[in-house]
Amino acid sequence: MLTLKQWQFCLTEMDKMFPEAHCELVHRNPFELTIATLLSAQCTDKLVNRVTATLFEKYKTPEDYLAVSIEELQQDIRSIGLYRNKAKNIQALSQKLLDEFDGQVPATREGLESLPGVGRKTANVVLSVAFGVPALAVDTHVERVSKRLGICRWKDSVLQVEETLMKKTPMDEWSKTHHQLIFFGRYHCKAQNPGCDHCPLFTVCREGQKRFRKGLVKRSE
């Protein structure tokens, strides 16, 4: 397992690599971010952004999503995986916002997680990005990088990964660390091609060292 000193080294290096890391889901307000994050489950941000480019011009309020049939909304997001269930959740979420939150996305975890289709990860993203509340959402990139590096155990659940990262990362760096871990996993430590041969974290990385011992990684230094 990484020591705190090693983890801080990782955070510093990722900050050098991706100083401008940010949420890549295109949105203009908390409502659009909530919808986009809901759509992003098991789907790439790039595809979501292609769909929401037209979706967010057609639908701007909860009322707009409820003014059409479920079949029409399904058609509008058809290229996204699980589109039937996501369309159902979007309409249910929109109705709940109108019924219980005056049409506004709540700025609390409890309120967000009460919305259909909004789990802990989505709530963390909205809290952090839309409302500036310290949070550390764990998506597939964050989980993969955390376990490869060895800050977390391979058997840890997503919640355990989140708890470990929050415990070992200063609170004022949670949001930045979330985005930098995503960028690191999305653009460098990829699922199929981790980039160990030119990784600045190689010396402290559990997976990198394992791959090196197996002869899967060649280092120039």
- The token duo for 146 is 């955390």
Choosing from 16, 139, 168, 197, which is the catalytic residue?
Answer: 139
Task: Determine contact, residues 53/79, Cβ cutoff 8 Å.
Answer: no
Q: What predicted TM-score, i.e. pTM, was given to this entire model?
A: 0.92
- The token duo for 198 is 């030119």
Question: Cα–Cα distance between 57 and 96 in angstroms, integer?
Answer: 22
| Rg of the chain on CA atoms, in Å | 19
DSSP run (H or E) holding 173:
none
Q: Active site includes 210?
A: no
Residue 196 is labelled as binding a ligand = yes
Question: Cα–Cα distance between 14 and 38 in angstroms, integer?
Answer: 27
Question: Cα–Cα distance between 70 and 137 in angstroms, integer?
Answer: 30
Span 122-134, mean pLDDT?
97
Domains of the chain with CATH codes: 4-21+137-213 (1.10.1670.10), 30-131 (1.10.340.30)
Task: Determine contact, residues 199/145, Cβ cutoff 8 Å.
Answer: no
Q: What is the DSSP string of 180-202?
A: HHHHHHHHTS-SS---GGG-TTG
Choosing from 5, 121, 156, 197, which is the catalytic residue?
Answer: 121
Residue 189 is labelled as binding a ligand = yes
With a cut of 70, say whether residue 221 has pLDDT above it: no
Span 40-65, mean pLDDT?
96
Span 114-137, mean pLDDT?
96
* pLDDT for res 219: 72
Q: Active site includes 121?
A: yes
Span 89-112, mean pLDDT?
98
Residue 43 is labelled as binding a ligand = no
Question: Cα–Cα distance between 77 and 86 in angstroms, integer?
Answer: 9
